[in-house]
Amino acid sequence: MPSSRALAAAACLAGALLAGCASHAPAPHGAVRGPDASGQEWLQSDVNRMATLAMQANLDSLYRLMDKLYQRNPRQWRSAGHTNRAQAMAGVRRAIAQQQPWAPLEGRRDVAALALALSPDFAGDRVAAFIHATADMIVTAHGGKTSFYLTDSLDAQHLYNAARNVEIAVWLLAQRRGAEGRPLLLADAFGPDVRNLSFEREFGKVIARLDLLAQVGAEKYRRAAISTVQGLAGGTLLQFLPVR
């Protein structure tokens, strides 16, 4: 029979192992949480709701990218006469929310505005112009709307094109150079001591959401037909039979 000293040693070892396991438990990274319910949801199909959530997520991604771009390119908001980047961001967000044109883009909208924002000759606040033009292009691809209801429809090809436009814009942002030979805007960083790909990841989320919504939109009518057939089959063939 084991001695009390051996039992005590075993208890200590077990405690140490449990403590070690606890210290190596994965760190919490948050939990998924949907938005609060609203009365408007009664006027939305599943696809409408998905499109509305994806649009808000894409705009939030653009706002995060704007903040990060301003941090790496502070002379952009300074060139527009702002006292800080928060003030600069507030103006862009307000214009996007109200779907107002951005004055430095000379009245251009959609892809024409995006082309000007990424032109080496553009002399204004390029961060503001780029984010505003990208948001305007995405909203245009959604029929000019940011919330969607039963009477709304989405063009799958336009959403697909918007995803490709974001890809092109990201490539131009990385490859084009200004008159001084420097990138139009500093974004992702590569080097022996630093590797920052956070911009690429955030842009990738926007592209992925647009592509997924385009696929869902392309299948919308086929799935509606399938659901109808399934409903008919379930109503006639899959009913329980009487047993008495």
198 vs 49, residue with greater confidence: 49
pLDDT band at 182 (very low <50, low <70, confident <90, very high): confident
Query: How far apart, in whole angstroms, are the C-alpha atoms of residue 121 and residue 17?
Result: 64
What would the mean pLDDT of 93-121 be, rounded to a whole number?
Answer: 96
Percent of the chain with pLDDT over 90: 56
Structure tokens at 45: 């199909």
What would the mean pLDDT of 18-31 be, rounded to a whole number?
Answer: 61
- Identify the pLDDT of residue 43: 87
Query: How far apart, in whole angstroms, are the C-alpha atoms of residue 39 and residue 42?
Result: 6
- Identify the pLDDT of residue 191: 58
- Identify the pLDDT of residue 187: 83
Question: How distant, in Å, are the alpha carbons of 104, 130, 161 from that of 214?
Answer: 31, 23, 9
Highest mean pLDDT among 161-170, 173-182, 190-199, 220-229: 161-170
Please name which of 175, 103, 161, 160 lies closest in space to residue 132, comparing C-alpha atoms. Answer: 103
The one-character DSSP state at 189 is E
SS (H, E, C) 44-106: CCHHHHHHHHHHHHHHHHHHHHHHHHHHHCHHHHHHCCCCCHHHHHHHHHHHHHCCCCCHHHC
The ranges assigned to domains in the chain are 41-219
- Identify the pLDDT of residue 32: 65
74 vs 20, residue with greater confidence: 74
> SS3 of 190, please?
strand
- Asked whether residue 175 carries a pLDDT value surpassing 60, the answer given is yes
pLDDT band at 231 (very low <50, low <70, confident <90, very high): low
What would the mean pLDDT of 106-119 be, rounded to a whole number?
Answer: 96
Query: How far apart, in whole angstroms, are the C-alpha atoms of residue 211 and residue 73?
Result: 30
| Mean pLDDT of the chain, nearest integer | 84
235 vs 209, residue with greater confidence: 209
- Identify the pLDDT of residue 16: 57
- Which helix (H) or strand (E) segment holds residue 17: the answer is helix 4-23
- Identify the pLDDT of residue 179: 77
- Asked whether residue 225 carries a pLDDT value surpassing 60, the answer given is no
